[in-house]
Amino acid sequence: MNTKDQAYWENKHPAIRQLYAGRPLPNGVSYNIDIRHFIWADDYVLKDLIAKENLKDDNNDITANNMQKYVVQNLQYVSDEKLGRSEYWLFPGETLYMHRGDCEDGGILMASLLLNALPVDQHWRVRVAAGNVWGSDKAPYGGHAYLTYCRCTDNEWVICDWCYYQDSSIPVNKKPLAKDVGMYKDIWFSWNHLHSYSHMSFALAGRLNEKTFNTK
C-alpha cells in the first residue's frame, strides 16, 4: 500500500521564497514577483470556462487529463523571443485571451484551471515545476516549465506537459511516474498558489533567487 500523503509531499522539499522578474514594465524594467501570484486558484472566468467546456469530472485524475487536453488543443506555442521579448510570463487570463504562450504560460494556465475544478483540500496535488529538460528534434536542451500533478490513483506525481513532450493522449492514471521520466532533469523549484519549493539541495536553496533561467 502506498502510504505517501499530503503531509509527506508538502514536507519532502523545503519551502522557499521564490521571486522572479518575468514581467517587464512598459519602460522595459523587470520587477520581482512572488511566483505564487501567477497561479489563479479561484477565478470566475476560469470557472465559467470549466463549466462551458465540461472539463470537470467526479474523478480528479480524469479532470487533470481534461485540463491537459484542453490546453494542448486550444493554446498555440509561441516563444517570447518571437514576440520580441527575452522573457515575459503571462497571467492565466492573458494566456486564455490570447490563445498562445510559451511553456510556463500553458503550465500556469493548466494549473489554474485544475485548481479551480478541484476541491480546496486537493489543491496540494497541483504544482508547476521549473527546471531542465533534455533536448529533442523539436527543441534544444534548456530550461522548461510544466505542470506536475499528484494523482489520486496512487498519490504519486506525474507530468502533464502541454508542449515539449506533450502526452495528453495518455490518461493520468496510465502516465509514467515523474521520477521515472528521464527527459526532465534537475528541477530548480516548483510552486502553486500556496507555496514554492526548492528541489535542489538545501545548501543551494538560498541561491535560487540568483538563478537565471530561460523557459522554452
Q: Using one digit for the tens of pLDDT, what is the confidence trace for 138-191?
A: 555 678 899 999 999 999 999 999 998 999 999 999 999 999 998 888 899 999
Its pTM stands at 0.89
Map out the domains of the chain as residue ranges: 19-210
Give the domain 19-210 fold: C8orf32 fold (3.10.620)
Q: Using one digit for the tens of pLDDT, what is the confidence trace for 59-82?
A: 999 999 999 999 999 999 998 777
For strand 15-16 and strand 196-198, is the pairing parallel, antiparallel, or unpaired? Answer: antiparallel
Start-end of H helices in the chain: 6-12, 44-52, 60-74, 92-98, 103-117
